[in-house]
C-alpha cells in the first residue's frame, strides 16, 4: 500500500517508489505537515519538528499554556488566514459576520483504491493498480466549513497530486477569497526557485535565483496561464544540477489566472502555495454547496532531469487522453506564413499539391477562411465559409485536398469575437465587459463570456457543425488575446468575482464535449503561440503550438525551457522560411529541421518557392522524423547543455526505455575561429553495452560515452547542426 495510517502515532504516510510524504494529527487536532523528500520507509519523521518558545509567535487558545506550540512555526498541511500563522496561506474566507478567519481541525480520513477525479476540472487519471487516494476532512468548528484535502499517489511514477474541496455545512453563506490547491512546508535547507518567464514569441525562459527571506510570487492575472509566466515551478537545493540535488516540482493543472508563492520565513523554513490567483477572486458557498480547486501535481527527485522525466511521464500517460497521445502525429503544412490572410482556392491547392509530393501528411488551413475575414478587424464569431476566397465552399476544397492523399486541418478561434461580425451584432451582451465602460480590445477582438452556458452551447454547435459537415482531422484552437474587463451580464453583482474561474470551467466544458464527441480529431491548443501552455490544456489536447516565434535559434531556447516540465510530444514545432518572418535571421534548412523534429513536426512556409535541393531535404527530414518519432515522443529526454552553454551551442538527447537506441541533436549558435571542440557526456545509456554511431560507424561503450563523452568534429558555417543515431550492437 502506498498510503498508511499509524493510529498509535496519528501519522499518515504517503510513499512512492523513491519518496515519502508525511503528515501528523497533532495534540490539538491540527493537521501538521512533517516531511516530504527521499523515501524513509516507515520512520516517524516528526522528531525533526522541534518545538520551543520563539518569542512573538503566538499560541492557539487551547495551547495558551504551551508556549512551544505555535501555528506560526509549525508545519501546516493547509494554512489559513488570520488565526496565528502569519506566513503565506492557502485559505482566506469572508464569513457571514464579516470576519475573514478560519481554523481547520482534523475530523477524519479515508483511503481508497484508484485516483479521485474533479468535477469539471482536469486531473491525472489512474486505475486501481496505478494509484491510491487519500481524502482528509478538516473542519472549521465555528462556521461548519469543511475542507476535504485530496491526495492521489502514483507510487511507481513518484507523483503525489493535491486538490481541495470546500463544503459549506454551516447555516450561513461563506465566501472564499483565496482557495489554493497546495500548501507545502519545507522546514530546513537553502533553496533556489526555478520558474519560467517570457513574453509573446519568447515563452518559458528559465530563471533561477536563491529563495531569500520574504515572499516571491510567480503569477498570471491575464485570464490565461500566459506567455509571461508558467504554472510550473521547481524548488531545488542550491547547487543542484541535471543529475544531483534534491528537487521539488509543482505543476498546476489550470489554464487561467494562477499564483505560485514561495516564502522563506524568519526561522529559515520555506513554504510553497499554489492555486487559482486570488486577485479579484471570490466564490460564494451557500449552505450545502461545494467548490473544488484545480489539481496540483507534486514530485520529488534527485536532479532537475529526474523532475522532467516524472512530469513527462505523468503528462504522456496520465494526463493526455487523446487517441494521439502515444500515436504518430501527422506531419503537417500550415499556410499561415505562406499566405497570411491573402489566401484563395488556387493558392491553397497549389500549396497542398507541393505538400503531397514532399510526403507531408496533412494540410492545415489557417486564419482567413471564414466569412468577412480579410484582416484581424472582422469576422471572428461567424464560422461560415468565406465564399469570396473559397467560391466552391470549404467542403469542396477539403475533398480536393483529400484527393491528393492529405488529411485536412482547420484553424479556429472560438473564444473570441470581432465587433464587426454578425455574432456581435446579434449578441453584444455575450462579451466580457462592465456596464457603462468601453472594453479593452486586443488584436481588434473581444472575449466571449464562456462563463455563460448559452455561449458555451452556441460555440459547441458552431464547432460541431464544422466537424460534422466536413472531413476535418485536426483543429488548431487559438486564443489571441489576454482577458480583462471581467464582468458577465449573466452573473449577479455580488458574484462577479466568480466570472474568471467560471470562464475557465466553460472552456473545459466545451473542450470536453468536443473532444468526446469527435475522438478521431487531433486537437492542438494555441494562445498566440504558447500563451496557454499548461497541463490543464494537455488534458484535452495532446499538443500545443509552442510559440508564434518560428525562428529555429529562438525555438532552441523556447523548447529548452519548455522541456523542464513538458514532453516533446506536447510541443508543436514547425520549419519556417529563411529569412525568418519574426527575426529576419537566415538559417540552413537542415538546422531548422533538427529543431522542429524535437517536437511534433510541421512546416510553415511557401513550398512553391523552394529549390529542388530544399525539397529533397524536406523529403529526407520527413523520412527521418517518421523513424525517430517513437523515440522522440516516448523516450527519456536529457538536456546535455544548460543556460550557460546555450549561447554557444545546445545539445539534447533521447534514449529508448530499454536503452538500446538514442538520438543526440546539436545546434551551434555561435561559431568562432580555432574554437575548442564540443565534448558531450551522453546520459541514460547502458554502461556495459557497446553502441554504434550510425553517422560515423564508431563503436564505443556506453560507459565511455557517458563518462568520457563524445567529441564532435569542428562545425563551421551559419548555425550548423548534427544528429547522431546511437544503437547497441550484439
CATH number at residue 125: 2.70.98.60
Task: Please report the pLDDT score of residue 671 as a whole number.
Answer: 84
Contacting residues for 93 by C-beta, under 8 A, at least 6 apart: 81, 100, 101, 102, 143, 145, 174, 175, 176, 177
Q: Are residues 526 and 662 in the same domain?
A: no
366 is catalytic: no
Q: Are residues 116 and 210 in the same domain?
A: yes
Per-residue cell: 570: 506536447
DSSP H helices, 135-215, are none
- Residue 498 maps to a domain: no
- DSSP-assigned letters across all residues of 410-477: EEE-TTEE-SBSHHHHH-GGGB---TTSPPP-BTTBEEB-TTSHHHHHHHHHHHHHHHHHS---EEEE
Task: Please report the pLDDT score of residue 20 as a whole number.
Answer: 97
- Residue 437 maps to a domain: no
Task: Please report the pLDDT score of residue 51 as a whole number.
Answer: 87
Q: Are residues 602 and 529 in the same domain?
A: yes
Task: Please report the pLDDT score of residue 16 as a whole number.
Answer: 97
Q: Are residues 307 and 359 in the same domain?
A: no
Considering 274, 292, 318, which residue would you say is the last residue of a domain?
318
Q: Are residues 125 and 194 in the same domain?
A: yes
Q: Are residues 157 and 297 in the same domain?
A: yes
CA dihedral angle for residue 556, residue 560, residue 565, residue 569, rounded to 10 degrees: 40
- Residue 432 maps to a domain: no
Task: Please report the pLDDT score of residue 644 as a whole number.
Answer: 84
What are the angstrom distances between the C-alpha of 476 and each of 191, 363, 604, 629?
Answer: 40, 12, 14, 21
Of the candidates 26, 72, 449, 478, the residue annotated as catalytic is: 478
Q: Are residues 355 and 295 in the same domain?
A: no
Q: Are residues 39 and 146 in the same domain?
A: yes
Work out how many domains the chain is built from and give that number. 3
Q: Are residues 258 and 403 in the same domain?
A: no
Q: What is the CATH number of the domain that holds 657?
A: 2.60.40.1180
- Residue 296 maps to a domain: yes
Task: Please report the pLDDT score of residue 679 as a whole number.
Answer: 95
- Residue 433 maps to a domain: no
Task: Please report the pLDDT score of residue 50 as a whole number.
Answer: 85
Task: Please report the pLDDT score of residue 244 as a whole number.
Answer: 97
Considering 318, 353, 372, which residue would you say is the last residue of a domain?
318
Task: Please report the pLDDT score of residue 715 as a whole number.
Answer: 81
pLDDT above 90 coverage of the chain, percent:
95
- Residue 637 maps to a domain: no
Task: Please report the pLDDT score of residue 426 as a whole number.
Answer: 98
Considering 265, 288, 318, which residue would you say is the last residue of a domain?
318
Tens digits of per-residue pLDDT, 553-612?
999 999 999 999 999 999 999 999 999 999 999 999 999 999 999 999 999 999 999 999
Q: Are residues 175 and 47 in the same domain?
A: yes
Distance between CA atoms of 571 and 601, rounded to whole angstroms?
9
Q: What is the CATH number of the domain that holds 542?
A: 3.20.20.70
Task: Please report the pLDDT score of residue 717 as a whole number.
Answer: 83
Query: Which stretches of the chain score pLDDT less than 70?
Result: none
- Which residue range(s) make up the domain with 723? 649-728
Q: Are residues 158 and 57 in the same domain?
A: yes
Task: Please report the pLDDT score of residue 165 as a whole number.
Answer: 98
- Residue 724 maps to a domain: yes
Tens digits of per-residue pLDDT, 353-401?
999 999 999 999 999 999 999 999 999 999 999 999 999 999 999 999 9
> Residue 8 class from Cβ within 10 Å (0-12 exposed, 13-18 middle, 19+ buried)?
exposed
Q: Are residues 139 and 203 in the same domain?
A: yes
548 is catalytic: yes
Of the candidates 85, 140, 366, 548, the residue annotated as catalytic is: 548
pTM: 0.97
- Residue 704 maps to a domain: yes
Task: Please report the pLDDT score of residue 674 as a whole number.
Answer: 78
Distance between CA atoms of 697 and 695, rounded to whole angstroms?
6
Amino acid at each position: 500500500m502506498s498510503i498508511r495510517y499509524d493510529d498509535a502515532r496519528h501519522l499518515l504516510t504517503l510513499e512512492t517508489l523513491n519518496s515519502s510524504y508525511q503528515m501528523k494529527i497533532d495534540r490539538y487536532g491540527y493537521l501538521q505537515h512533517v516531511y516530504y523528500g527521499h523515501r524513509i520507509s516507515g520512520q516517524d519523521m516528526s522528531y525533526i519538528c522541534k518545538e520551543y518558545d520563539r518569542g512573538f509567535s503566538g499560541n492557539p487558545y487551547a495551547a495558551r499554556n504551551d508556549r512551544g506550540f505555535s501555528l506560526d512555526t509549525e508545519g501546516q498541511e493547509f494554512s489559513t488566514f488570520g488565526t496565528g500563522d502569519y506566513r503565506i496561506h492557502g485559505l482566506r474566507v469572508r464569513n457571514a459576520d464579516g470576519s475573514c478567519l478560519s481554523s481547520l481541525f482534523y475530523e477524519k480520513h479515508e483511503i481508497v483504491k484508484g485516483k479521485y477525479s474533479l468535477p469539471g476540472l482536469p486531473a491525472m487519471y489512474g486505475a486501481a493498480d496505478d494509484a491510491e487516494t487519500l481524502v482528509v476532512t478538516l473542519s472549521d468548528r465555528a462556521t461548519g466549513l469543511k475542507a476535504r484535502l485530496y491526495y492521489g499517489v502514483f507510487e511507481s511514477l513518484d507523483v503525489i497530486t493535491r486538490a481541495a474541496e470546500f463544503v459549506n455545512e454551516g447555516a450561513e453563506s461563506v465566501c472564499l477569497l483565496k482557495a489554493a490547491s497546495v500548501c507545502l512546508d519545507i522546514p530546513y535547507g537553502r533553496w533556489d526557485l526555478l520558474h519560467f518567464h517570457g513574453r509573446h514569441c519568447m515563452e518559458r525562459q528559465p530563471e533561477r535565483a536563491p529563495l531569500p527571506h520574504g515572499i516571491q510570487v510567480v503569477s498570471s492575472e491575464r485570464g490565461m496561464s500566459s506567455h509571461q509566466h508558467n504554472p510550473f515551478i521547481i524548488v531545488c537545493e542550491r547547487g543542484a544540477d541535471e543529475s544531483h540535488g534534491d528537487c521539488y516540482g509543482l505543476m498546476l493543472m489550470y489554464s487561467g489566472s494562477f499564483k505560485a508563492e514561495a516564502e522563506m520565513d524568519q526561522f529559515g523554513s520555506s513554504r510553497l502555495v499554489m492555486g487559482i490567483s486570488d486577485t479579484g477572486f471570490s466564490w460564494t458557498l451557500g449552505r450545502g454547496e461545494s467548490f473544488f480547486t484545480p489539481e496540483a501535481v507534486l514530485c520529488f527527485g534527485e536532479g532537475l532531469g529526474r523532475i522532467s522525466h516524472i512530469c513527462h511521464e505523468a503528462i504522456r500517460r496520465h494526463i493526455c487522453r487523446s487517441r494521439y497521445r502515444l500515436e504518430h502525429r501527422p506531419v503537417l503544412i500550415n499556410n499561415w506564413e505562406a499566405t497570411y490572410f491573402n489566401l484563395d482556392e488556387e493558392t491553397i491547392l497549389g500549396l497542398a499539391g507541393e505538400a503531397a509530393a514532399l510526403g507531408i501528411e496533412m494540410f492545415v488551413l489557417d486564419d482567413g477562411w471564414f466569412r468577412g475575414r480579410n484582416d484581424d478587424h472582422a469576422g471572428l464569431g461567424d464560422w461560415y465559409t468565406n465564399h469570396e476566397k473559397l467560391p466552391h465552399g470549404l467542403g469542396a476544397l477539403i475533398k480536393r485536398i483529400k484527393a491528393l492523399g492529405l488529411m485536412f486541418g482547420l484553424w479556429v478561434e472560438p473564444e473570441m469575437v470581432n465587433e464587426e461580425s454578425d455574432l456581435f451584432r446579434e449578441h453584444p451582451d455575450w462579451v466580457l465587459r462592465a456596464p457603462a465602460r468601453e472594453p479593452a480590445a486586443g488584436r481588434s477582438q473581444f472575449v466571449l463570456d464562456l462563463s455563460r452556458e448559452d455561449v458555451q452551447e452556441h460555440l459547441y454547435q458552431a464547432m460541431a457543425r464544422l466537424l460534422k459537415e466536413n472531413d476535418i482531422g485536426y483543429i488548431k484552437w487559438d486564443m489571441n488575446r489576454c482577458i480583462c474587463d471581467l464582468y458577465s451580464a449573466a452573473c449577479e453583482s455580488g458574484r462577479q468575482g466568480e466570472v474568471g474561474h467560471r470562464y475557465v470551467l466553460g472552456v473545459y466544458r466545451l473542450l470536453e464535449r468536443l473532444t468526446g464527441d469527435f475522438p478521431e480529431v487531433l486537437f492542438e491548443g494555441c494562445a498566440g503561440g504558447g500563451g496557454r501552455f499548461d497541463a490543464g490544456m494537455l488534458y484535452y489536447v495532446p499538443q500545443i503550438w509552442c510559440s508564434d516565434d518560428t525562428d529555429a535559434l529562438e525555438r532552441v531556447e523556447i523548447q529548452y525551457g519548455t522541456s523542464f516540465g513538458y514532453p516533446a510530444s506536447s510541443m508543436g514545432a514547425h520549419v519556417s522560411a529563411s529569412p525568418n518572418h519574426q527575426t529576419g535571421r537566415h538559417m540552413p534548412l537542415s538546422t531548422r529541421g533538427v529543431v522542429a523534429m524535437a517536437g511534433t513536426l510541421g512546416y510553415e512556409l511557401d513550398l512553391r518557392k523552394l529549390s529542388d535541393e530544399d525539397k529533397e531535404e524536406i523529403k529526407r527530414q520527413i523520412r527521418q522524423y517518421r523513424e525517430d518519432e517513437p523515440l522522440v515522443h516516448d523516450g527519456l529526454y536529457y538536456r546535455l547543455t544548460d543556460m550557460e552553454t546555450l549561447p554557444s551551442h545546445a545539445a539534447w538527447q533521447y534514449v529508448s526505455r530499454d536503452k538500446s537506441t538514442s538520438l543526440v541533436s546539436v545546434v551551434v549558435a555561435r561559431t568562432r575561429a580555432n574554437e575548442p571542440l564540443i565534448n558531450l557526456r551522453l546520459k541514460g545509456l547502458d554502461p556495459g553495452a557497446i553502441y554504434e554511431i550510425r553517422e560515423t560507424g564508431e563503436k564505443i561503450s556506453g560507459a565511455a560515452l557517458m563518462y568520457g563523452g563524445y567529441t564532435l568534429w569542428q562545425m563551421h558555417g551559419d548555425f550548423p547542426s548534427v544528429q547522431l543515431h546511437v544503437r547497441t550492437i550484439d
